[in-house]
Amino acid sequence: MFNYYFSSLLLVLIFSSLNFGCGSRLNESSDSELPDTSGLKLEKIKLPPGFKIELFARIENARSMTLGDSSTLFVGNRNGDKVFAVKFDDNFKAGRVYTLASGLNMPNGVAFADGDLYVAEVNRILKFSNIENTLENPEYSVIYDKYPTDKHHGWKFIAFGPDGKLYIPVGAPCNVCEAAEIYSTITRINKDGTGFEIFAKGVRNTVGFDWHPVTNELWFTDNGRDLMGEDIPSDELNHAPIKGMHFGFPYVHQGEILDPEFGKGYSVKNYVKPKQKLGPHVAALGMRFYKGNMFPENYKNRIFIAQRGSWNRTVKIGYRIMMVELVGNEVLYYDVFADGWLDNDLFWGRPVDVQELPDGSLLISDDYSGSIYRVTYKN
């Protein structure tokens, strides 16, 4: 009997070491063990007919997302100091979660190219080489470290453009102010950290951008300033087809309002107007063009925008996924795709980023509840 119990205990210890010896398995699930949905109210989410939302993974402070080549989702965060990788299977069910790095400075932005993961801290860009083959023991190098150290709007969304360059925003170090040339911009560098240049100016704080699948031109969200009232100015959806455009900040807001302090002597005619006003204080963050085939055909090339939600309005607004349809470079349609994270003026989740999976389903990150959701469609 003693030998039986000793053998059983030994098997348990071996099994535990296999499960927890390297990386994190906080999100590993099976048919009998589903991800933890505590605190979530997925039944509150309203979607168009035929669409379904479910929990994909639980990730601490989940923010920006990007895909690898081999069924890996990479996730950054702002309020924490970690970068994560989530493996998923052929049925697009999340499995093992790896903590790739910790102790970082607001590692919000993640981008993937040629087998390497790029991570944006406040003032520097990191490169994790050959990342999908080194998830157990990744190492990184610093390819650029000359960005400002200000944490106010210092977290960064990053992405590679069709030109192969890494695009990196530098937010205003304030609510509204005039600052050095590097601030309130979208910059870009080569993959090796060389070739720094400013691509766009007058951008208060963009935390999401993407390139049109047909024209390869840049579109981005921008957060409007605070303390001008509850209903102005609006967040913006902007279009930057060429280098050197100026989008108004800090002199002009939403393309038509002069700033009461910094707008004196300036004209709204001298700056690029937004293609769509997204709403006041909605915190429009991550955005992606839809390129997949799962959703109905008329969804192709539409823009999905995550709105994290207002913190500075008496009546809250945002906390939803919006959708934009374009005709050429003009907005035909702007409306709600998914909402319900705001429930009777109390929010239980805050959408941050959107990311398409290879099967055409759509992931939504939520840093407030520490979740990533997956939206699918079935006719």
What is the phi/psi pair of residue 298, to 5°? -70, -5
Q: What is the DSSP letter of 30?
A: B
Give the model confidence (pLDDT) of 297-320 as tens digits: 999 999 999 999 999 899 999 999
pLDDT of residue 337: 98
> CA–CA separation, 224 vs 218, rounded Å?
19
- For 42, the 3-state DSSP assignment is helix
Confidence of residue 34 (pLDDT cuts 50, 70, 90): low
Give the helix/strand (H/E) hosting 10.
helix 2-20
pLDDT in tens, 206-265: 999 999 999 999 999 999 999 999 999 999 999 999 999 999 999 999 999 999 999 999
Higher pLDDT, 70 or 21: 70
CATH for the stretch 24-377: 2.120.10.30
CB atoms inside a 10 Å sphere around CB 77: 25
CB proximity list for 296: less than 8 A, separation 6 or greater:
50, 377, 379
pLDDT at 345: 87
Mean pLDDT of the chain: 92
Residue spans of the domains in the chain: they are: 24-377
Q: Would you say residue 5 has pLDDT above 50?
A: no
Long-range contacts of 31-38 (CB under 8 A, 24+ apart): 35/94
Alpha-carbon span 181 to 54, nearest angstrom: 44
Q: What is the pLDDT of residue 36?
A: 80
